[in-house]
Amino acid sequence: MKHPYLTNDHEIFRRSLRKFLEKEAYPFYDLWEEERMIPRSFWEKMGEQGYLCPDIDEEYGGSEVDWGFAVVINEELERVGSGLVGVGLHNDIVVPYITAYGTEEQKKRWLPKCTTGEIITVIAMTEPGTGSDLANIQTTAILDGDHYIVNGQKTFITNGIQSDLIVVACKTDPKANPKHKGVSLLVIERDTPGFSRGRKLNKVGLHCQDTAELIFEDCRVPKENLLGDEGKGFLYLMEKLQQERLLVAIAAQTASEVMLKQTIEYVKSREAFGKPVSKFQNTQFKIVEMATEIEMSRAFLDQLIAEHIEGKDVVTKVSMAKWKMTDSAKKIAAECMQLHGGYGYMEEYEIARRFRDIPVASIYAGTNEIMKTIIAKNLGL
């Protein structure tokens, strides 16, 4: 399908990236799933080829390309497998906090290594007792001379094990009223005293994507590592969540397209009662229903991406896309597994992995229930 916001340059880039992934990712993905980790060498190879943070300025190691290239990267990574979500998180969620709110010194110190894979980034928001309610986070960062003293714990952190640079949402003013005005963003580096990693979490799906607990115990962080202004962290998070949720919608849409394509191929080749499964009316109706849903979602998503690239405020539409496309992807995964019959429950068929991987998309980046709350508010309800 021709995306309206992509040019011939983007498609040339897509072909190059796909060729790279066919050599460096597809053959190893099952092994990465077994080992529960994407090797750092893959990150470094991505960096060598210019696939990490290509949109940032050339002076920091990027290529200064438009965000359409990010869309291509995220679509192609999702086609390999949902476990590569950590690369999109690094490129299009965490690094943009540094480019938008970082000082010149911070940008020069961190961004060049973000483009090479020497630095892998994460953002740490969620806590054991706090999910979507970010104003009530309990991790504190109290200024003591030239350092912040950070105490608290984060969980469900994507790239948590391999991360070198952690953007941490914390309370620099625990007594602030309203509470969200006490939230700030602090960048904590890998070897900072008082910072440690807890468990590498054992998830239902996304097995090769490392997810971890992060622990801060009297962790001393130089005050120069404050990102932006103190007390504006909540505002910064809200400003960047539009793009994060759009990325989730892109991944869900791409996964749906992949699952449908694989299922069509399977039902054409599988025979039952003397004819291909694709010739049964029930199969045809199920395929048609999914194809129609996917086609309509793609049209909405492409328009939404174009508006986002233009810099428009599309928070309401992004919230709609995030909940609808992730919800749809879960249903499509279940339907496609059913059409695979018993083989769909076997690990040798990719649909089994897709079935495991897709449900979390309706939970992270703000649950779908939160999305509906945002939509309702913005509709004046």
Considering the candidates 76, 213, 244, 293, report the single residue annotated as catalytic: 244
What is the reported pTM?
A: 0.94
196-203 contacts, C-beta under 8 A, 24 or more apart: 197/160, 197/161, 198/153, 198/155, 200/36, 200/160, 200/161, 201/155, 201/156, 203/360
pLDDT of residue 1: 55
Active site residue 33: no
pLDDT given at position 135: 82
What H or E segment, with its residue span, contains residue 152?
strand 147-158
Q: What is the per-residue pLDDT for 5?
A: 87
Average pLDDT by consecutive 10-residue portion of the chain (381 residues)? 83 97 98 96 97 95 94 97 96 96 96 97 92 85 96 96 96 92 96 95 96 97 96 92 95 98 97 94 98 97 95 95 98 98 94 97 93 96 94
pLDDT at 353: 97
Using DSSP, state whether 196 is helix, strand or coil.
strand
